[in-house]
Chain A
C-alpha cells in the first residue's frame, strides 16, 4: 500500500470514549474480567483467579481535569457517528457535524507546498528551525492582507499551527488567576482550556455552567449580541465573530460597544475571527477596525476554513504592541516568550502554503472555495426555512443555527442521525444557551448537501 493510500484511509478522527482506558478508581484490588463479545453469540469468560493489584504512582491527578464533564465535544460527535455506522453499516452517513472542510485545496496553494517540501531535499532549499513567530514573508503577507491600514504590523503577527492551539497558549500566558467571559453558546475550546488552566470552579449541573466563568447569553432575543449591562467584569472576554455556532456577525456598532466595555473594565478581548472571510455584508472583519481596539484586544484566526487547511495546520494570532497588562508589561512580550518556549513554529511546508494563499491568485482561489461553502449554507438555510423552522446564521458563516423550541438538542441530534443518517451538532454542546438549537455545518460536497437537505425535507415535511 502506498504511503498516501495508507494515510488517507486512516484520516478519521479517533473518538475519545472508544479510546478511554478503563479506570481503576477503587483502591481495593479488583479482578479484571475479560468478556469478548461476538455478534449473535455471547461468550463469557470467567474472571482470572489471580488478582493483579495495579501499580499506582503517587502523583495526584490535576484537579482541573477532573472538573471537565465529558470528552471534548467534537470527538464525542465522532464517537456517535462511529457507533451509528456500526449499527447501520450500509447507511450513507452525511457529516454536517464537525466543521471539517471537504473540498480540495486550490492547486496554486498545494503546488507551493509541494515545491517547498521537495526543496527541503536540496542544499539551497533546506531549512531547519524557523523563527518561532513565523516566517517573515508570511507575517508580512498576513498583515497586509487582513490588517492593511489598521496599524497592525508584521511583527504583531504570530504564525501558529491553528487557532485551537493558540487559544491554549493564550491561556498559558494569562495563567490561572484571571477570570473569563464567553459567549453562550460558544466554541468549546475557550471554556475547556479555561477549566484546564484552573481559572474556573466546578461544573454546576443545574445550570450547566462552570463556576467563575461569565456566560454572556447570545440568543435570538438579543440579536445574538450580549446585553453588556448585565455582564460582570472579567479579565478576559472571548468573542467570536462571525460566530461559531450561531453564525451571527457582530455589527460595527456592537463591536464598538464591546471595545468600550473592555476599555471601561480594563479587560482583554480575545477576538476569534476564523470565519471573517465568510462575511457577506459590511460587518467588521477584524476587531482592529474599531478605534481603540489595539489597547484591549488580541485577534486569533486560521487558514483552516479559508484554505481547507484543517489537516495542514496553520493559523495566526495578532497581539498589538499597545496591549499592556496592569503593570504596563506588554502582553506581546509574554506571548512571544510562550511561543519560543512552549512551541517551535508552524511547519515550514504549511507556511509555504499560507504564503501562496495570500498571493493574488491564492486569495482568488480561496474566495472561490469559500463561495462554494457559502452556497452550501444557502441551500441548508433555504431548506430549513421552507420547512417552517426558525433559522439563524448562515449569511456570514458556514453554520446554520436551527431552532427546535422546547426540545433537547441531543435528542434532536439523535433523531436526525437515526432517521436521516445526517450528523449535526447539538447546540447544548456549545453551552446552556445552545439548548433548543442544532448546528448544521455547511462543509460538504454539493451532492451530500443536497442529499442531506432532501432527507431533512422528508423527515420534517
Chain B
C-alpha cells in the first residue's frame, strides 16, 4: 500500500484532498528516494497530504509485474526528450540542435510518398480497397526485401516477416522465447534488447554499483578490443544480441569477426539476433547481413528496418528474417513459433506503409533512398572531422550514422549536460547504452546539413 511506503511524520495534521495527478507525480519521486530513507523536509512534498490522499486511493488487488519494477528509470530516449524540453523551458530562445535521438529529418523521396498517397486514395475505391493483410506481410514486399537485401545469400521470401519496426520485433521475439531464456548483449547496446529482456522476466535485479542487470551477459565492446567482444571470456547464453553496424559505437563487424561469432553460437547452441538496421550505411566491404556467413542460417535471425533506410521512423516498417533451418533444442522450427506470435500478437504492418516499402525497393525508389542515406553519411563525415580536428578521440561515423566520441575520465551524463548547456546541442550519454558507454557520447548524424554544420561550429567553439 502506498501509505506503507511513505515515511510518516509523527504528527499527522489535517488531511486534505490532493489531485491524483500530483500524487502520481510525487509517487515516483518518493519511490526513487525511499531507499535510503530521506530525512523529511529535503523533498518538497507534503507527506501529510500525500499520505492522507493515498488513504483515499482505491487500489486493485492486482500485483504489479515484478519485472516492470526491476527497470531502472524510463526508457532512454524519452529521457533525452524530457531533458530537451527542460532545456527549452530554461532557454526558450535557444536554437536547439537535436543530435540525440536518431530521428531522421529529410523528407521521404517523392516517388515513394506518392505511391503511399495513391494507395491511400485508392482505398476509397472498390477495386483498390483491401482489408486485413497477411500477418507475415504483403507477398510482393516480402519478395522485394529478399531480392534486394538477400539476393547474394540464401534467404527465401517465406522467411521474411514484415513488421511495424525493429523495436516491436525485438519484443515479439522475447515473447516467443519466454522468461527462461538467457541473453547476451554488446556493452554498450541499443537499450531495447536489455529492457525487453527485463520486462519478459529473463533478467535479475539491477546492480547499481556496476550498472548491470543480473543474469544478462554484457559483452564489452571498446576500442581496445576493436569493438568486438572477447568471446573466450563470454559466458554461454541462449540468445546473443548483435548489432552491426553498431548502435551506438558505429562499428561494422568484419567478416572475420562475424565468422567467430557464428562459430561461437554454433559451439554453444545459441541463437544470434542480428540487428542490421544500419546495413545501408556500410561504406567498406563489411558484411551487410549475418547470412553472408556460412552456417549462420542455423543459428541466427536478422532484424532490420526501413526507419533509417527510407526515413520511415514515423511511417513504421521493418522486417525480420527467420531461417527455416533454425531449430529449438527439440527440433521444432523457430519460424513456426514466430509465425504464431505474428498471427496472435500482431495484425500486420499498415498496408500503406508496406506500399511505401515496396516503392522504396523499386529501382527508382532505391536510387532515391540511397541518396538519402548518402546525405546522412556525409553528415557523419562532417561530425567525424570536427571531433578529429578538436583532438577528441572518435569512433564510428564511417559505416553508421553515429559518431562515438570519447571523453576519458568524465561521466557521460555530465558531458551530455555540459554540451547541452553550453552549445544547445542534444546528444546521448554513452552510459545510457550500458556501463561500457561511460566516458562516451553518441552524436547522431541525422539532421539538416545546416544544423550539422552549425553544430560543428558550436562544438569547435566549445572545445578549442
Residues of chain B at interface, number, CB under 8 A = 135
Stretch at the interface among A309-317, A407-415, A422-430: A309-317
- Closest residue of chain A to B63, judged by CB? A326
Task: Write the nearest CB–CB distance from A72 to chain B, whole angstroms.
Answer: 4
- B314 contacts A129, CB within 8 Å? yes
Cβ of B192 within 8 Å of any chain A Cβ, yes or no, is yes
15 residue pairs from A and B, CB less than 8 Å apart: A7-B138, A14-B136, A62-B178, A101-B131, A114-B118, A117-B113, A128-B104, A172-B175, A176-B179, A267-B60, A327-B1, A338-B199, A341-B171, A347-B164, A349-B315
Contacts A128-B104, A172-B199, A177-B65: A326 and B123 contacting too (C-beta < 8 A)? no
* A-side contacts of B335, CB under 8 Å: 21
A130 within 8 A of B: yes
Which one, A130, A176, A296, A312, contacts B352 given CB within 8 A? Answer: A312
Known pairs A265-B61, A328-B1; A25 contacts B353 (CB<8 A): no
Shortest Cβ distance from residue B52 to the other chain A in the assembled complex, whole angstroms: 14
Give Cα A121 to B175, complex, Å: 36
Residues of B within 8 A of A16 (CB): 339-340, 343
Within 8 A of B (CB), among A22-60: 23-27, 54-60
Question: Closest chain A residue to B3 by CB distance?
Answer: A328
Extra A-B contacts (7), CB below 8 Å, given A16-B343, A327-B2: A54-B331, A55-B266, A121-B114, A161-B350, A177-B63, A344-B167, A349-B315
Task: How many A-B residue pairs have C-beta atoms within 8 angstroms? Tell me.
Answer: 421
Let me know if A321 and B120 touch, CB within 8 A. Answer: no
Q: Which residues of A contact B20 (CB under 8 A)?
A: 321-322
Looking at A127, A263, A266, A341, the one whose CB has the most chain B CB atoms below 10 A away is: A341
In the bound assembly, the distance between CA atoms of A6 and B362 in angstroms comes to 12
Partner of B105, one of A109, A114, A128, A349: A128
B166-213 contacts to A (CB < 8 Å): 167-168, 170-171, 175-181, 191-192, 195-196, 199-201
Query: Which residues of chain B are within 8 angstroms of A196 by Cβ–Cβ distance?
Result: 175, 341, 344-345
Shortest distance in angstroms between A79's beta carbon and chain B's nearest beta carbon? 11
Chain A CB within 8 A of B369 CB: no
Nearest CB on B from A334, distance (A): 5
In the complex, what residues of B have CB within 8 A of residue A68's CB? 340
Would A296 and B60 count as touching, CB distance under 8 A? Answer: yes
**When chains A and B are docked, how far (Å) is the Cα of A198 from the Cα of B115?**
42
A328-B196 contact, Cβ under 8 Å, with A20-B336, A21-B333, A110-B124:
no
A311 touches B132 (CB 8 A): yes
Contact B57 A328 (CB under 8 A): yes
A170 to B356, CA, bound (A): 30
| Docked-complex contact A311 and B340, CB < 8 angstroms | no
Is A334 touching B124 in the complex (CB atoms < 8 A)? no
**Contact with A117, one of B5, B349, B352, B446 (Cβ below 8 angstroms):** B352
State whether B199 touches A342 (Cβ < 8 A): yes
Residues 104-145 of chain B, each 1 if its beta carbon lies under 8 Å from chain A, else 0: 111111101111111111111111111111111011110000
Determine the distance from Cα of A177 to Cα of B63 in the docked complex, in whole angstroms: 8
Contact of A105 among B2, B65, B124, B299 (CB under 8 A): B124
B171, A172: Cβ atoms under 8 Å?
yes
In the complex, whether B270 has a CB less than 8 A from a CB of chain A is yes
Residue B165 is within 8 A (CB to CB) of chain A in the complex: yes
CB closest residue in chain B, given A177: B63
Main secondary structure of the interface of A (DSSP, over half): loop
Please indicate the chain B residues that have their CB under 8 angstroms from the CB of A162 in the complex: 347
| Number of A interface residues in the complex (CB < 8 A) | 126
Among A104, A175, A193, contact of B344 (Cβ-Cβ < 8 Å): A193
A146 within 8 A of B: no
Task: Say yes or no for B45: interface residue by CB 8 A criterion.
Answer: no
Note all chain B residues with C-beta closer than 8 A to A129.
Answer: 101, 103, 313-314
B326 at the binding interface (Cβ < 8 Å): yes
Cβ of B165 and Cβ of A344 under 8 Å apart?
Answer: yes
User: Are A7 and B131 interface neighbours, CB within 8 A?
Assistant: no
User: Is B68 in contact with chain A by the CB < 8 A criterion?
Assistant: yes
Which among B1, B20, B175, B266 has the greatest number of chain A C-beta atoms within 10 A? B175
A456 in contact (CB, < 8 A): no
Of B71-79, B242-250, B374-382, which stretch is located at the interface?
A: B71-79
Q: B104, B315, B329: which contacts A347 (Cβ < 8 A)?
A: B315
The answer for the CA separation of A175 and B303 in the assembled complex, in Å, is 25
B139 with A10: CB separation less than 8 A: yes
Contact B164 A161 (CB under 8 A): yes
Chain A residue with the shortest CB-CB distance to B353 = A347
| CB pair A61 B340 closer than 8 Å | no
Instruction: Please name the residue on chain A nearest to B331 by beta carbon.
Output: A24
Q: A11-B130, A98-B132 are in contact. Are A324 and B336 (CB under 8 A)?
A: no
Task: Judge if B456 is at the interface, Cβ distance under 8 Å.
Answer: no
Q: Is B271 an interface residue (CB 8 A)?
A: yes
Q: Which 8 A-B pairs have the closest CB atoms?
A: A266-B61, A58-B269, A328-B2, A175-B65, A62-B178, A121-B113, A342-B171, A168-B345
CA distance A323 to B299 in the complex (A): 43
Residues of B within 8 A of A20 (CB): 336, 339
Known: A103-B129, A121-B110, A311-B132. A164 touches B315 (CB 8 A): no
Q: Which of A422-461 contact B (CB under 8 A)?
A: 443
Asked if residues A4 and B118 are in contact (CB atoms below 8 Å), the reply is yes
Considering the complex, which residues of chain A in the window 316-369 have a beta carbon less than 8 Å from any beta carbon of chain B? 321-330, 333-334, 337-338, 340-350, 353
A266 pairs with B107, CB closer than 8 A: no
Q: Contacts A110-B124, A172-B199, A328-B57 given: A347-B352 contact, CB under 8 Å?
A: yes
Residue B39 lies at the interface, judged by CB distance under 8 Å to chain A: no
Does B407 interact with chain A (Cβ within 8 Å)?
no
Tell whether A120 pairs with B108 under 8 Å between CB atoms, given A168-B175, A266-B62: yes
Cross-interface CB contact of B328 among A57, A111, A198, cutoff 8 Å: A57
A104 touches B129 (CB 8 A): yes
CA distance A329 to B104 in the complex (A): 35
Q: Which of B62, B345, B347, B353 contacts A235 (CB 8 A)?
A: B62
Set B54, B103, B344, B349: member contacting A128, Cβ < 8 A: B103
Known: A105-B124, A126-B108, A165-B345. A344 touches B330 (CB 8 A): no
Q: Which residues of B contact A343 (CB under 8 A)?
A: 167-168, 171
CB pair A349 B353 closer than 8 Å: yes
Check B24 for interface membership: any CB of A closer than 8 A: yes
A148-205 residues at the B interface, CB under 8 angstroms:
161-162, 164-165, 167-168, 172-178, 189, 192-193, 196-198
- Shortest CB-to-CB span from B385 to chain A, Å, is 25
Flag if A310 contacts B339 (CB, 8 Å). Answer: no
Distance in Å: Cβ of A85 to nearest Cβ of chain B = 16
Does any Cβ of B come within 8 Å of A125's Cβ?
yes
Most buried by B among A27, A235, A329: A329
A301 CB to closest chain B CB (Å) equals: 14
- CB-based nearest A residue for B109: A121
CB closest residue in chain B, given A125? B107
Residues of chain A with a CB closer than 8 A to B131's CB: 11, 100-102, 308, 310-311, 443
Which B residues lie within 8 Å of A443 (CB)? Answer: 131
- Cβ of B149 < 8 Å from any Cβ of A? no
